[in-house]
Amino acid sequence: METVTELMRIDAGDTSWLLVCTALVFVMVPGLALFYGALVRAKSTLNMMLMTFVAAGLTAVVWTGYAWSVAFGHGGRLWGGVSQAGLSGVVTQGTTNGVTYPVPLIAFVMFQLMFAIITVALISGAVADRVRFSAWCAFVVAWVSLVYAPVAHWVFDFGGADGSGAGWLAQRGLLDFAGGTVVEINSGAAGLALALVVGRRVGWPQQPMKPHSMPLALVGAGLLWFGWFGFNAGSALQANVLAATALANTMLAGAAGLLAWLVVERVRDSHPTTLGGASGAIAGLVGITPSCGFVEPWAALVIGALAGTVCAFAVRWKYRWRIDESLDVFGVHLVAGVIGCLSLGFLATTTVNASGRNGLLYGGGTGVLGTQLLAVVVVLGYSFVITLVLAKVIDGVMGLRIDTEAEVTGIDLDQHLESAYDLSSANSGVLGQHSAAHRSEVN
C-alpha cells in the first residue's frame, strides 16, 4: 500500500477545509436532535433527542469496525469487502476515489462517517414517541451494516485511482454530489418501512399531536441549514470553485424552498406557518443535495422552489393513507431527494463540473435521466425492503414498540426515567425518588 508521501503531497488548505466541513456536518447531529425533539410532544423530547445522539455513537463504532470498508473498500461492484476493517492502514493513505485528492484518507473517512450518522438518525423521525430504545439501538447497527454501507458503495465509491472496484451505480455514471440517493431517498424509504411495522401512535390521527416548541424547532432547523454547507460544499473535497458553487447553490435552494412552502400555505391555508418555513428550507436543502455540484445557481433556485412546493403537498399523504410517519421523513427527505436526483437529468451541466454530464437542457441525451431514475428506483426499493425485513426481525426478537400505557404516560419516563421539563409534581416525585436512589447507591 502506498503511503501518503508516495501517493501525493497533502495540501494543507484543502485538508483544513475538509476538516472544517466534517465538523460542520457533525453540527447537524445536535441540530437534528433539537429539531426533532421540539417537533414532538414534551413527554417524548428526551427520547427523540437521545435517539439521534446514540445513533452517532453506535454508527462511529460500526463505521470503524467494518462499515467504512464495506462502503469504500474496492472489493467489487456490490460491496467493498473488509480489507480495511478497523480502519487498518487508513492513516497511511491518501484519498484516491477515482481521482487523487490532496487530503488524507482518514479525513475523508471521518467526513463520510458524518453522512452515515445523519442518515440513520433521520429515520428516527418516522417513529417518534413509540419505539423501545434498546430496539432502536439494534436497528441502528443492523441498518448501517446492511443498508447504508452497501448503498454508499454503489453510489459514492468510484474505485481506486484506476477505477477498479467501483460501485455499480457509480460505474454507470450516476450523478449524486452529496447524497440524494444514499442519504435522502435511503432514509425516507427506510422511515416509511419502519413506520409501517411499528404502527400508528395511540390516538393518531384523531388527537392533535402538535410540536411542543416551535422556537426550538426553528433553532434546530437553522443548525441543520448551517451544517448543510459542510455537507454539500465539503463533498468537493477541495477548497476550490466547485466547493464555492456547491455552497452557493445550497444557500439558494434552501431559501427558495422556504419561500415556496410559505407561498403554498398562504394560498392553500391563508396563513404561512413557522413549521412550514422550516420544513420548506429543509426540503430545498434536500433537493439540492445531489445536484449542488452539477448545476448553475439559477437552477438551484428552481430545484429548491420545486422541492418546497411539492413537499408542502406531499406531507399530507400520510393522513390520506393513514400511515403515521410522524415527522415526515418520507414526505420531505424522500420526495425532495427524488426531485433533486431526477432534476439532474435536465439541469446538469459540465460547465459547472467537468466530471459530470450534460442534462437534456444542455444538449445531453436521455442517458443521464435514465441512470438517475434507475438509481432512485433501486435505492428506494432496496432500502424499503431490507428495512422492512430488519424491522420485522427485531420486532419478533425483542419487540419494537413500547406498551400502550407507557406511550400514553410518555416514552421519556418509560424508557429513561427522565423528563425534559418539570411540568408536574408527579414527575418531580418520580425523578426525585430516582435521584435519591441513585445517590444512595453511590454512597
Burial of 423 (0-12, 13-18, 19+ CB in 10 A): exposed
How many CB atoms sit inside 10 A of residue 243's CB? Answer: 23
- What is the distance between the terminal CA atoms of the chain, rounded to a whole angstrom? 54
| Grid coordinates of 29 | 447531529
In this structure, what are the phi and psi dihedrals at residue 208, rounded to the nearest 5 degrees? -70, 135
Helix (H) or strand (E) holding 378: helix 367-397
- What would the DSSP string read from start to end of 29-78? HHHHHHHHHHHS-GGGHHHHHHHHHHHHHHHHHHIIIIIHHHHHS-S-SS
Helix (H) or strand (E) holding 207: none
User: 80 near 74, Cβ under 8 Å?
Assistant: yes
pLDDT, position 424? 60
Rounded to whole angstroms, the Cα distance separating 232 from 227 reads 9
In this structure, what are the phi and psi dihedrals at residue 275, rounded to the nearest 5 degrees? -65, -40
b/e map 376-415, b = 16+ CB within 10 Å: bebbbebbbebbbebbeebbeeeebbbeeeebeebbbbbb
Longest dimension (CA), the chain: 75
Helix (H) or strand (E) holding 325: none
pLDDT, position 422? 81
Using DSSP's 3-state secondary structure scheme, residue 403 falls into coil
- What would the DSSP string read from start to end of 382-402? HHHHHHHHHHHHHHHHT-SB-
Domain ranges of the chain: 4-80+91-397, 410-442
User: 175 near 348, Cβ under 8 Å?
Assistant: yes
Rounded to whole angstroms, the Cα distance separating 205 from 125 reads 16
Ordered alpha helix ranges (H), 289-366: 297-314, 317-321, 335-347
User: 295 near 347, Cβ under 8 Å?
Assistant: yes
Q: Is 237 left (phi over 0), alpha (psi -120 to 50) or beta?
A: left
| Grid coordinates of 302 | 428552481
Helix (H) or strand (E) holding 85: none
pTM: 0.92
Superfamily of chain region 4-80+91-397: Ammonium transporter AmtB like domains (1.10.3430.10)
pLDDT, position 348? 98
pLDDT, position 97? 54
User: 2 near 100, Cβ under 8 Å?
Assistant: no
In this structure, what are the phi and psi dihedrals at residue 95, rounded to the nearest 5 degrees? -90, 115
Amino acid at 242: L
Amino acid at 160: G
User: 34 near 220, Cβ under 8 Å?
Assistant: yes
| Grid coordinates of 434 | 430516582
pLDDT, position 160? 59
pLDDT, position 159? 66
| Grid coordinates of 109 | 473517512
In this structure, what are the phi and psi dihedrals at residue 247, rounded to the nearest 5 degrees? -65, -45
Taking only the tens of pLDDT, the chain with its 443 residues reads: 344 444 457 889 999 999 999 999 999 999 999 999 999 999 999 999 999 999 999 999 999 999 999 999 888 889 889 888 998 878 766 665 545 778 898 999 999 999 999 999 999 999 999 999 999 999 999 999 999 999 999 999 776 555 566 889 999 999 999 999 999 999 999 999 999 999 999 999 998 899 999 999 999 999 999 999 999 999 999 999 999 999 999 999 999 999 999 999 999 999 999 999 999 999 999 999 999 999 999 999 999 999 999 999 999 999 999 999 999 999 999 999 999 999 999 999 999 999 999 999 999 989 999 999 999 999 999 999 999 999 999 999 999 999 999 999 999 999 999 999 986 644 444 444 444 444 444 44
**221: Cα within 13 Å, side-chain hemisphere:** 24
In this structure, what are the phi and psi dihedrals at residue 100, rounded to the nearest 5 degrees? -85, 115
